[in-house]
Amino acid sequence: MSLSPVRLRDVALAAGTSTKTASRVINGDARVATDTRHRVQEAVDQLGYQVDLMARSLRKGVDDTVGIVVPTIGDPFFAKAIEEIEQMALPRGINLLVASNSRDPKCERKVVDGLLARRVSGLIVTPFSADYSFLERVVTPVVFLDRHPNGMDVGAVIVDDEGGAYRIVMHLASFGHRRIALLTDDLTIETSRLRREGYVRAMLELDLPIEQEFQATWCVDAAQAEACTNDMLDLDHPPTAIFSARSETSLGVVRALHLRHRTDIAFASFGDFATADVLSPAITVIDHDPRTLARRAMEMLSERLDGAPASPVDTIVAVEVIARGSGELPALRAVS
């Protein structure tokens, strides 16, 4: 029935000690006589004993496990982040519980509660749009990744969304573009909102009009982004440059431009993607590496696990523009 019928008591019996002493050996407690330690070690090896982590966790009150919640696991950005965190956790003997909130606020709370009920020692969460204030009453350390939670005033590990967007729009404009379109995901998502703010700031500073027709602010996937791009290009006065605020939507834009053979439209993407440098023209992007973000988050969580208090200050990861060609296409002289 049992996974392995070998219990600590069996080890203790074989070594001729009490379970407590065997436990000490296993936990590397220094206060054990060398020869006793030896006998226990031998019994462990011979019997093939393995701790029952469930029992350990119950006794200790926490589980050596970190939970991570992201909107979608399949998104390459989050997949890479998960990978990085797993790599950092593994050597410390920490396991990773992965869950997605499925971009659904209802699901979101349930998923986090489920992880907490499992007594994870810590949590890394990319919030979607649920209210997270309930976490204030929870002692489990939580680090927020990529966005701030609603209803909670706490620091997060984020990238410079606003600044990056601002810079890339300025970049596009420096090639003569005045009609710059914006594609974003759902604006209730903080990253989308901030990137839009960067876009707006740049446009205002440049004294360029923010046309309603050039604002596609609800593209949740590549297909929608493609449709929106097509719509914009069909306008009487279409944009000459496009800024897509997310890798996923960028795929849609690229697809639309490609199918229409519009190699004259300038394009820049917030977020790199696999073949961005191989397309013709190669895609200019703002690189924001999920691994860096993840690493910072895990470091912060480790500190919290060691007792550091939650910081109200953000950790902001810088981003950089990678010019590859698509963002440097000049604006053609206006037709009108």
Partner DNA sequence: AACACGCGTGACAACGATTACCTTGACATT
Partner DNA sequence: AATGTCAAGGTAATCGTTGTCACGCGTGTT
The binding site for DNA (CB under 7 A) comprises 2, 7-9, 16-21, 23-24, 26-27, 30-33, 36-37, 49, 51-52, 55-56, 58-61
Nearer to a copy of itself, 84 or 162 (CB): 84
- What are the helix (H) ranges across the chain? 8-15, 19-26, 34-47, 53-60, 76-89, 105-117, 161-173, 190-205, 222-233, 247-259, 290-305
- In single-letter form, the type of residue at position 166 comes to Y
Residues in contact with a copy of itself, shown as a per-residue x/- string from 254 to 283 under the rule CB under 8 A: xx--x--------------xxx-xxxx---
- We find the least distance from the C-beta atom of residue 128 to a copy of itself, in angstroms, to be 15
- Told to check if 26 binds a copy of itself by CB under 8 A, we report no
CA 87, CA 294: separation in Å to the nearest integer? 11
Q: How far apart, in whole angstroms, are the C-alpha atoms of residue 102 and residue 157? A: 21
Region near a copy of itself per CB under 8 A, out of 47-55, 200-208, 212-220, 317-325: 47-55
**Who contacts 312 (Cβ-Cβ below 8 Å, separation ≥6)?**
153, 154, 155
CB of 327 to a copy of itself, least distance (A): 17
Contact between 28 and a copy of itself (CB under 8 A)?
no
Query: Residues near 182 by Cβ (< 8 Å), separated by ≥ 6?
Result: 196, 199, 214, 215, 216, 217, 242, 243, 245
For a copy of itself, the closer CB: 62 or 200 = 62
| Residue 299 CB coordination number (10 Å) | 14
Does an H or E element contain 311, and which? none
Question: Smallest distance, Å, CB 141 to DNA?
Answer: 18
Rg (the chain; Cα; Å)? 26
Instruction: For the segment 135-154, give every residue that binds a copy of itself (CB under 8 A).
Output: 138-140
Structure token digits, residue 77: 């950005």
Residue 274: contacted member of a copy of itself, DNA, none (CB under 5 to 8 Å, by partner type): a copy of itself
| Minimum distance of DNA from residue 108's CB (angstroms) | 23
Q: Which of 28, 30, 31, 61 binds a copy of itself (CB under 8 A)?
A: 61
Strands 320-322, 284-287: pairing kind: antiparallel
**Residue 27 or 275 with smaller CB distance to a copy of itself:** 275
Nearer CB in complex with DNA: 36/72:
36
State the Cα–Cα distance between residues 240 and 179, nearest whole angstrom.
6
Q: Residue 227 Cβ, how far from DNA at the closest point, in Å?
A: 49
Min. distance of Cβ 101 from a copy of itself in angstroms? Answer: 10
Alpha carbons within 13 angstroms on the beta-carbon side of residue 173 total 21
β-strand partners of 182? 215, 243
Letter for the amino acid at 3?
Answer: L
Considering the complex, state which of residue 49 and residue 78 has its C-beta at the smaller distance from DNA: 49
Judged by the rule CB under 8 A, the positions of this chain that interact with a copy of itself are 1-4, 50-55, 57-58, 61, 63, 65, 72-76, 79-80, 82-83, 86-87, 90, 93, 95-100, 102, 107, 111, 113-119, 138-140, 251, 254-255, 258, 273-275, 277-280
